[in-house]
Structure 1
């Protein structure tokens, strides 16, 4: 499955991923100690919703446009993050990827490390992050993930958001996560994934469960009331070692997201459950 960022910028998966990521980082920032934020598959950083890739799919109409039209205050931080890269709250031309959103959240003591292996996207990322304090790398994502651990700051977050173009992507994530846990067992890791085939996804969850990670939260957003064979059905996030404040505040945020993003004629489901209860 090809999930190149530029074709899907601002879709429902981006809305959920970025709203949850903002809530996670803000919860961690309740403590003053420094954070290192690492994005292993950073993409271009900023996307033109009027560009040929985004227009080809038109997915923003069922994602960010719905979230911006929803007045729920729980989505306020997300709406503000999108508005900050546009001329004003009423205009939507650009969509911020995770790098730009993470950069907005940085405190003076925090560190942002970005990685993008695709040469053209890496160039675009450097342009998008010009003027920020982010370090931009152009390396294999899984090699960088391990090389950066443990972080130099007391705490950190690794965001893993691959395009799932390679058939062994999930196997590489599983193996790298296992190695990362041995080096950095207390760190926070966020892994995004698309939902297409329920049985295949369950097999991957079973393999991740076998890693024996104690605090392993699974967030799933199924768009439709019944599976739609052969198409994109939604997306999810695995969160390793989520802070207590984040986990406690998650249910109302997820309900707000489900309501805002439910396709016409469907209620959809949004769940959060521990992989190893």
Structure 2
């Protein structure tokens, strides 16, 4: 599955991912200690929703456009992140995870971004001018292991691959296991697309065998029934989610579900512990 960011900028998966990333980082920032935020598959950082690649799919209409038209105050921080990169009254640009994370930085925090694609890393460096971000062009999984444990007492690793390679899930599983051995208290966030439940359940079984405690899985199924071969939503694995995040999660998930449910579908957005 090819999930390169530029083709899907601002879709429902981005709305969920970025809303929850904001909630997670803000929960961690309730304590004054410094944070290091690491994005292993950073993409371009900023996307033109009127560009050719985004227009080819038109997925933003069912994602960011719906969220901006919603009135639930729980999505205000997400909407503010989008509006920050746009002129008043426009929604031409969409902030990728690097831009969203950069907006959240306090003076004591750090941001490490990585993108291997040669064209995307050029765009990323341009998008990150004037920010505190350090930009790398390395293998994502090598960087993940090299950067943990973070130099600051606390940190978050965001893993958001395009799932172009057939061994992507296997590499994530192996790297997560190695990273957890080095950095057992660290927070990791792993994004994944959902197409069919059987494939996803098999991966969850492999991840359960890692024996990692405090392993949360958040799943957003757009449609009420199986849609064979069709993108059906996305989710996040979160290792070591902080208490404040867990407290904020139930109402946030319901707000996102209601805002993003396709016409004629209720959709499902749930969180549960991945127990061995």
Match of 1:164, SS state, is coil
Structure 2 gap segments, 5+ residues each: none
Structure 1 gap segments, 5+ residues each: none
Alignment-derived partner of residue 54 in structure 2: 54
- Equivalences, count: 276
Alignment-derived partner of residue 99 in structure 1: 98
1:100 Cα offset (Å): 0.2
Q: Which runs of 4+ in 1 moved over 6 A?
A: none
The answer to whether the aligner puts 1:226 opposite 2:225 as a matched pair is yes
The answer to whether the aligner puts 1:147 opposite 2:146 as a matched pair is yes
1:276 Cα offset (Å): 1.3
Alignment-derived partner of residue 70 in structure 1: 70
1:167 Cα offset (Å): 0.3
1:133 Cα offset (Å): 1.1
**Superimposed CA distance per residue, residues 193-232 of structure 1 (whole angstroms, 9 cap, x where no aligned partner):** 0001210100000000111111000000000000100010
Alignment-derived partner of residue 26 in structure 1: 26
Match of 2:211, SS state, is coil
Alignment-derived partner of residue 252 in structure 1: 251
Match of 2:37, SS state, is strand
- Taking the aligned partners of 1:160 and 1:263, their CA distance within structure 2 comes to 27
Alignment-derived partner of residue 207 in structure 2: 208
Match of 1:221, SS state, is strand
- Taking the aligned partners of 1:254 and 1:198, their CA distance within structure 2 comes to 20
- Taking the aligned partners of 1:190 and 1:107, their CA distance within structure 2 comes to 20
Alignment-derived partner of residue 3 in structure 2: 3
The answer to whether the aligner puts 1:39 opposite 2:39 as a matched pair is yes
- Taking the aligned partners of 1:38 and 1:162, their CA distance within structure 2 comes to 13
**Superimposed CA distance per residue, residues 49-98 of structure 1 (whole angstroms, 9 cap, x where no aligned partner):** 0000000000000000000000100000000000000012x210000000
Alignment-derived partner of residue 189 in structure 1: 188
1:248 Cα offset (Å): 1.3
**Superimposed CA distance per residue, residues 167-214 of structure 1 (whole angstroms, 9 cap, x where no aligned partner):** 000000000000000000000000000001210100000000111111
Alignment-derived partner of residue 84 in structure 2: 84
**Superimposed CA distance per residue, residues 140-187 of structure 1 (whole angstroms, 9 cap, x where no aligned partner):** 000000000110000000000000000000000000000000000000
Alignment-derived partner of residue 118 in structure 2: 119
- Taking the aligned partners of 1:206 and 1:77, their CA distance within structure 2 comes to 34
Alignment-derived partner of residue 264 in structure 1: 263
Match of 1:217, SS state, is strand
- RMSD (CA atoms): 0.6
TM-score normalised per structure 1: 0.99
- Taking the aligned partners of 2:81 and 2:124, their CA distance within structure 1 comes to 18
- Taking the aligned partners of 1:268 and 1:260, their CA distance within structure 2 comes to 10
